Amino acid sequence: MAMSAVHPVHEGAGRPAGPDDPKNLGLLLPIGPEVTARMRVVVIDDEHTLRESCATVLRSEGYDVTVCGRGEEALELLKRRAFDIALVDLYMQGVSGLTLLRAALTTNRDTIVIVMTGNPSVDTSIEALRQGAFDYLPKPFSATHLQVLIGRAVHTLLVARETREQQASLERQPARTDRVTLLGTAPAFRRAVDLARKVAPTDASVFITGESGSGKELIAQFIHQNSRRSSRPFVAVNCAALPEGLLESEMFGHRKGAFTGAVRDKAGLLEAANGGTLFLDELIDMPKAIQAKLLRVIQDGVVRRVGSETTDAVVNVRFIAATNGEPEAALASGAMREDLYYRLRVVPISVPSLHERPEDIPLLAEYFLTTYWSRHRSKGVAAPKLTDGAIHALCAYPWRGNVRELQNVIEHVAVVTEPGSEIAPENLNLAEDGAPTSGANPASLISTMLEESYHVARDRVIAQFERQYLTWLVNRAGGNMSKAARVAGVDRTTLYRMMERHDLQRSPTAGWVVEREPAAEAAVEPADADENVA
């Protein structure tokens, strides 16, 4: 529906005239009149011309539209009535757009809120998305842009309703076994999981950082499985694994004849993920040209295949990005576009490395052993057990490959170990070049001691023992110094003094033992959160 002679909303403003024509878009993302008639839309803006122009376009497509031009009146309306979609001006007089956003979501948590702003500040727009907005429309915008965004919002609502129906059906069936399992009690890991759980029901973009093998893709899958898109595809692409030309073709698809070997039309991963989630692993390695093309899809949902001169598809995709690198460094060097980064980094999640969560190692090891034993052995065959020495060795190992490396080590054990046997440290097949620095080769240790006096050798061996013992003790006690002191049979003050003597301290963000920073002050004896727990 053309919106001619309307200043705030220009037909085709900033867009090519042909490919984005609403008639073509309607064919690509069909929404029948029986659906639009049931969609209650409210347009809230104190600018009369824009408000009425938006309403005219949406009513022409069959939507049930309500308009409101005053902040206080809009606030009361949102508290009183539940809408499917709310178009809200971010800068209303009297009542802010963020207040209206919260009111709409409080009345109906499934409401799709789209904020409109003539002053598209990155901070305010990101804050609106973080608080639950579906997207934002920078003014002036075209009628086509409005139609595309509303179409995506309706599609999201339909997918959410379909997902709820399927989940309700699944709850009446036997339990599923393909759900992602996130194991761990370490505070840093639980914070990541709790944040993932909070953001999952929304459509906000998530940016996950963490070392390779720490579980970034599992966090992404967890978010997808707990979202309103869980019945739709989860599609993953590694942006660092493919050359630029192949990555572009894989993501956006291509037309027949677009390049040598393109013998037929091919849909890309963006179209495959329509209605679901696209996981962009190692995003900062994506070439700049593809970043620009991806940004268009995020903003408008419009996909143009390689070699195409027209719009090939309109998609509704949730984006989750991840990297094991430094996004800020990529921004500073110009390798990463700022506009794309802030679009995708609505909710940042940091996944801790395994050496930052050693208290989780026994739990993960036991889980992997049970899982792989069941997978590789016949049913009923007695499983082996990890000895205390094996657990100690696992906790002391540096795990440069993180959870993935631990998983591989335990699978090896499950394959080669005899049924019902005990798994000792020497059975773990830990890489020699990854051995913990706190340990020492026995032959080398004896050779060194023979060159020292008795008292010097004794003091060094005792110091080494104390350091290893303290690390193991506090980590096994989950950072609870009272519990560690009871196990060791000493008072807490003695334990803190021993740790200070060996330049050890508890991590400020968790409970495990870490090296003391060179400039750190003397240890202060903090109170344990669970001091009265046995």
273, 202: one domain: yes
pLDDT tens string 462-490: 877 777 777 777 766 766 777 788 888 88
272 in the same domain as 211: yes
pLDDT at 445 over 60: no
Q: Which residue has the higher pLDDT, 454 or 60?
A: 60
**Do 201 and 345 reside in the same domain of the chain?**
yes
pLDDT confidence bin for 317, thresholds 50/70/90: very high
Q: Are residues 430 and 307 in the same domain?
A: no
Domain shared by 196 and 55, yes or no: no
CA distances from 48 to 176, 177, 510 (A): 52, 54, 54
Q: What 8-state DSSP symbol labels residue 452?
A: S
CB proximity list for 58: less than 8 A, separation 6 or greater:
41, 43, 65, 146, 150
Q: Are residues 427 and 320 in the same domain?
A: no
The answer to whether position 95 is within a domain reads yes
504-506 and 513-515 beta bridge pairing: antiparallel
Examine residue 179 and state whether it is found in any structural domain, yes or no: no
Whether residues 222 and 108 share a domain: the answer is no
Asked whether residue 11 is domain-assigned, the answer is no
Partners of residue 506 on adjacent β-strands: 513
For 148-217, give the secondary structure using H, E and C: HHHHHHHHHHHHHHHHHHHHHHHHCCCCCCCCCCCCCCCHHHHHHHHHHHHHCCCCCCEEEECCCCCCHH
What residue type is assigned to position 109 of the chain? R
Q: Write the CA distances from 500 to 226, 357, 391, 522, 529, integer angstroms.
A: 44, 21, 26, 7, 21
- Could you read off the pLDDT of 130-139 as tens digits, one per residue? 888 888 888 8
pTM, two decimals, is 0.62
Domain end (from 126, 144, 170): 170
In this predicted structure, the answer to whether residue 51 has a pLDDT above a threshold of 80 is yes
Residue 534 pLDDT > 70, yes or no? Answer: no
Mean pLDDT of 37-52: 92
What's 37's domain CATH number?
3.40.50.2300
What's the rounded Cα separation, in Å, for the pair 318 and 316?
A: 7
Q: Has residue 455 got a pLDDT over 60?
A: yes
Residues 309 and 193 in one domain: yes
The answer, yes or no, to whether residue 112 has pLDDT greater than 60, is yes
- Total domains present in the chain: 4
496: domain CATH number is 1.10.10
Query: For residue 268, is it within any domain?
Result: yes
- How many Å apart are CA 370 and CA 372, to the nearest integer? 6
Confidence category of residue 122, pLDDT binned at 50, 70, 90: low
3-state secondary structure of 460: helix
Q: Which domain holds residue 271?
A: 187-352
Domain assignment of residue 498, yes or no: yes
Residue 465: its pLDDT value, please? 76
26 and 164 fall within a common domain? yes
- Of 27 and 388, more confident: 388
Residue 149 forms part of a structural domain? yes
Does some domain include residue 426?
A: yes
Write down which residue in 352, 369, 401 finishes a domain: 352
List the CATH number of the domain containing 211: 3.40.50.300
Are residues 164 and 40 located together in one domain of the fold?
yes
The 10 Å Cβ neighbour count of residue 450 is 8
Domain membership flag for residue 175: no
Whether 177 has a pLDDT exceeding 80, the answer reads no
Q: Which residue, 396, 414, 434, sits at the end of a domain?
A: 434
Structure confidence at residue 483 (pLDDT): 79
pLDDT at 83: 93
Question: Are residues 41 and 164 both part of a single domain?
Answer: yes
Average pLDDT over residues 452-467: 76
Q: Looking at residue 427, which CATH number applies to its domain?
A: 1.10.8.60
The pLDDT-based confidence of 432 (bands split at 50, 70, 90) is low
| pLDDT at residue 12 in the model | 38
Could you tell me the two tokens for 172?
């009446």
Are 347 and 202 in the same domain?
yes
| pLDDT tier, 223 (very low <50, low <70, confident <90, very high otherwise) | very high
